[in-house]
Structures are given as C-alpha cells and as structure tokens.
C-alpha cells in the first residue's frame, strides 16, 4: 500500500522532505502558510528590481544542498568558485585575501595565511597553531558544546586582532553569532568541515538568480512533476495524532500515515504534543539570532569584486547583486550583517546612511556615487542560537510519537543552521516518514 505523507512547511526542509518522500514512492501533500515556497531563503520585488531577503551562500562541502539544486533543475542558476578566494578589505585601501593553494588540507591555506596583511607575522603563526589544534577536536564531543569558542581562542593565544580579522570573519556568518557566544562544538564543525579537513570544501557558491526563482518557482515545478500536492496560504491550526496523523489548516484536514513537521523551532514548540520529545529537549530554548541586509542601488559601478569581506568596519560582507537584481545600469550591492542584534532597532534610513559611509572608506568610488535607492531587510529569527548547551535542545528527525517526524535546520543534523542543514533534515525525515 502506498504511504501518504503530509509535510508542514514549504521552506527548504519541507520541500526537500516532500521531494524525497515522493521520489521514494509516497503520496505527498505539502502545506505552507505563505503564498510562496522557500521560507527564509526567498526574494521580493521592489520597484523594477528583485532583492533577496538575505544574502545566502553555500560551500562545495554542502553536498545535499547542491544535490537539491540538481533535483529541482536549478544547478545552472548558481555559481561555485573553482577555488576558494575571499578578498578581505579594510578602510584606507588595505587589502588581502584568503584563498586556497593546490595543496592538500590543511596546507592549502598556508600560502595565503603567510601573506595575510591584516595580521602580523606573529599573529599569522599563532593562527596556524590554533587551526591545527582545532583540527584535532571532535565536533561530536559533548564536552565541546559546554564551552564557547571565544574562550578557547583566548586560551590558544589568539589576540583580539587575530580574532577580529580571521576567526570572527568565518565564524560570524556561518554560525550567526560572535565567537564569544558560539558553542565550541559548532565552531569546530564549521572550521573542520569547511576549511581544515578537505582542501576544496570551502569553495563558495551563490545564486546568480533571485532566490525566489530557485526556491519557489523551480521548487514548485519539481514538486508538481513529482506529483506532490502543494497547498499554500494555509496556516496550520493544529496537528492530530492517533490512528492517523493529520494537520488542520484552514477549512481542510490533511491526513496521512506520516507527518513531517518542517517549521521553525519556535513554531514547532507550539504545535508538538507535550510528550513528543524526550524529557529535557526543549526547542523553544534555542532562541533566535537575526540577520540584517542593507541593499543599495547605485548609479555607477564602484567595485569589480563579486563579493568581499571587510574588517575594521561596520560592513561585514558585501555582495554585487546587480545581475540577479535585474539592473541594467549602475550597481546593486547587498551588505550582509550577521549576528545583527545591535541593528534591529536602527531605523532603515540610518542603516543605509551608515553603510554608504562605511563602504566609501573601502570603495572610494562610492563617495561620488548617487544612491538611487536603499532598503533594509531584517530577519529577526534567521537562525537558532548555537550557544553552549544548544545541541541538547536539537532533536533528531524521529519523535516519541510513531509517524510524527521533524525537519528544519534547527534539528540535530550535526550542521549549523544553514541551507545544507535544512535539506539534510528534510531528507532524513522523509526516509523515516515514507516507511512509517
């Protein structure tokens, strides 16, 4: 008999779960409260241009997300670096880069670190020693999730400049926390998987088209092709467990043999029955960490970098989004600010002005450019907070209720809250759901 699977949530986790279940022979219905798919990885129109709700990147090591792109037919809509190369800029014209050499890990980063202008010779040597020490740690060691990354860096002789100009540069956008807040276990996962274990792992990829085209339009076509019934604009009022699993959304009740709850952790906490998770596992305690993006439409090109990291500046990362925005003249830049709690209360016009001024110190041409438009997107709950102790509140895909499964980047995939984690979680939940 064909299994029927109900998936709640049309973000990456839900779409991945629905496709995996359908590909495995299940009859699938996906219910999403928004009018579109893609969740937090989406885009919107403003005037004649398209803007992403946040700047998202992936790495070569994100094999499941890259497979997802292939599954929905969107692999050609992204760019993946042939070899890691991150320009690192600073006010006043100081520039360096982090790039990989054709050497095995961890030596592939040695040449660029040896020339890294934002650290002294002593700091570079100290950073290498800390990286080798980090490579010896196991991210699955529970003890590592009881301490923060910042204290470990201090213990291993990393100066404030080394932290700001190197470690923070990588940890903050991947964990959406500062090093002083982030779990050491989560940081070890990021640095080992992304940088230290395999030379090619950290090659960076990004969308060449608006995220909504990829994660909504292409995803919807793939779901339709797989025979998945997609119900949008339907907020879930409750889930029902018993002889069958069911979701009540609006005026409809969707029942099945299995239910995959692929929603944010705070939403899941309000829908799950009290006995669904093991004692002590409380997703609501994961908290949230925000991401803020400042989008600038300029009347001229001010940089030829497709993206760059910036140190000693309010700017963290800046991306050229001109082609994906659909602009035919000038330049569209997106300034991405992770762990952005301090910016949530700042008025959009003040944030735009601050970023224009800060960019002018890095790209002098900005000082002569006209800002045709500036807008700010704030994802207040972009990710959970991967602080010490957080992993205890990240359940796996199975719950204590037969037929009820969980998906989402916040579940215990072993990865931080990324697109890769979301897709992995959906596939894992579907593998259980289609055999329920």
Same domain, 355 and 406: no
The most distant pair of C-alpha atoms in the chain lies apart, rounded to whole Å, by 68
Question: For the residues 94-103, what does the mean pLDDT come to?
Answer: 96
Same domain, 428 and 279: yes
Predicted pLDDT of residue 243: 79
Same domain, 108 and 188: yes
Over 80: is that where the pLDDT of 2 sits? Answer: no
Name the DSSP letter for residue 367. Answer: G
Q: Is the pTM of this model over 0.95?
A: yes
> Dihedral, CA atoms, 195, 199, 201, 207, nearest 10 degrees?
100
Same domain, 378 and 392: no
Domain presence at residue 59:
no
Over 80: is that where the pLDDT of 1 sits? Answer: no
CATH number at residue 167: 1.10.405
Residue 436 pLDDT level (bands cut at 50, 70, 90)? low
Same domain, 273 and 417: yes
Residue 344 pLDDT level (bands cut at 50, 70, 90)? very high
Range of the domain at 415: 4-41+222-283+388-433
Tally of structural domains, the chain = 3
Predicted pLDDT of residue 242: 80
Question: For the residues 151-169, what does the mean pLDDT come to?
Answer: 98
Same domain, 361 and 400: no
At 283-338, the pLDDT tens digits run 999 999 999 999 999 999 999 999 999 999 999 999 999 999 999 999 999 999 99
Domain presence at residue 103:
yes
Residue 250 pLDDT level (bands cut at 50, 70, 90)? confident
Contact present, 368 and 302 (Cβ < 8 Å)? no
Predicted pLDDT of residue 185: 98
Domain presence at residue 217:
no
Residue 285 DSSP SS3: helix
Over 80: is that where the pLDDT of 435 sits? Answer: no
Question: Considering the chain, what percentage of its residues have pLDDT values greater than 90?
Answer: 97
Same domain, 338 and 424: no
At 252-294, the pLDDT tens digits run 999 999 999 999 999 999 999 989 999 999 999 999 999 999 9
Q: Average pLDDT, whole number, for the chain?
A: 96
Same domain, 414 and 347: no
Same domain, 429 and 344: no
Residue 251 pLDDT level (bands cut at 50, 70, 90)? confident
Same domain, 183 and 278: no
Domain presence at residue 104:
yes
CATH number at residue 419: 3.50.50.60
Residue 300 DSSP SS3: coil
Q: Which residues contact 332 (CB under 8 A, 6 or more apart)?
A: 49, 295, 296, 297, 298, 320, 321, 322, 325
Question: Considering the chain, what percentage of its residues have pLDDT values greater than 70?
Answer: 100
Question: For the residues 396-421, what does the mean pLDDT come to?
Answer: 97
């Amino acid at each position: 008999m064909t299994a029927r699977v109900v998936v709640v949530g049309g973000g990456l986790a839900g779409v991945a779960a629905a496709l995996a279940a359908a590909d495995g022979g299940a009859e699938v219905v996906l219910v999403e409260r928004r009018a579109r798919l893609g969740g937090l990885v989406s885009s919107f129109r403003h005037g004649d241009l398209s803007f992403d709700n946040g700047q998202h990147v992936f790495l070569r090591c994100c094999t499941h997300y890259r497979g997802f792109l292939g599954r929905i037919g969107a692999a050609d809509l992204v760019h993946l670096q042939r070899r890691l190369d991150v320009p690192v800029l600073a006010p006043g014209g100081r520039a360096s880069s982090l790039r990989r050499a054709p050497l095995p890990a961890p030596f592939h980063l040695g040449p660029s670190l040896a020339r890294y202008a934002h650290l002294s010779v002593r700091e570079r040597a100290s950073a290498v020693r800390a990286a080798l020490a980090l490579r010896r740690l196991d991210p699955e060691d529970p003890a590592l999730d009881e301490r923060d990354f910042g204290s470990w860096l201090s213990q291993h002789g990393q100066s404030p400049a080394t932290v700001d100009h190197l470690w923070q540069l990588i940890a903050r956008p991947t964990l959406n926390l500062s090093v002083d807040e982030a779990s050491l276990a989560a940081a070890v996962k990021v640095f080992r998987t992304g940088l230290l274990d395999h030379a090619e792992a950290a090659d960076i990829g990004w969308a060449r088209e608006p995220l909504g085209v990829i994660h909504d339009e292409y995803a919807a076509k793939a779901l339709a092709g797989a025979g998945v019934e997609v119900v949008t604009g339907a907020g879930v009022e409750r889930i029902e467990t018993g002889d069958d699993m069911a979701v009540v959304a609006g005026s409809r009740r969707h029942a099945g043999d299995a239910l995959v709850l692929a929603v944010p952790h705070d939403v899941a906490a309000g829908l799950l029955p009290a006995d669904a998770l093991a004692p002590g596992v409380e997703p609501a305690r994961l908290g949230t960490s925000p991401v803020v993006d400042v989008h600038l439409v300029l009347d001229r090109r001010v940089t030829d970098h497709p993206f760059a990291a910036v140190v000693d500046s309010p700017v963290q990362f800046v991306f050229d989004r001109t082609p994906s925005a659909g602009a035919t003249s000038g330049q569209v830049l997106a300034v991405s600010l992770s762990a952005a709690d301090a910016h949530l209360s700042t008025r959009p016009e003040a944030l735009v002005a601050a970023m224009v001024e800060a960019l002018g110190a890095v790209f002098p041409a900005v000082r002569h450019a006209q800002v045709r438009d500036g807008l700010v997107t704030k994802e207040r709950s972009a990710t959970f907070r991967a602080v010490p102790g957080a992993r205890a509140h990240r359940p796996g895909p199975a719950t204590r209720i037969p037929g009820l499964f969980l998906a989402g980047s916040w579940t215990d995939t072993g990865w931080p809250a990324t697109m890769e984690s979301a897709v992995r979680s959906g596939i894992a939940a579907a593998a259980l759901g289609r055999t329920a």
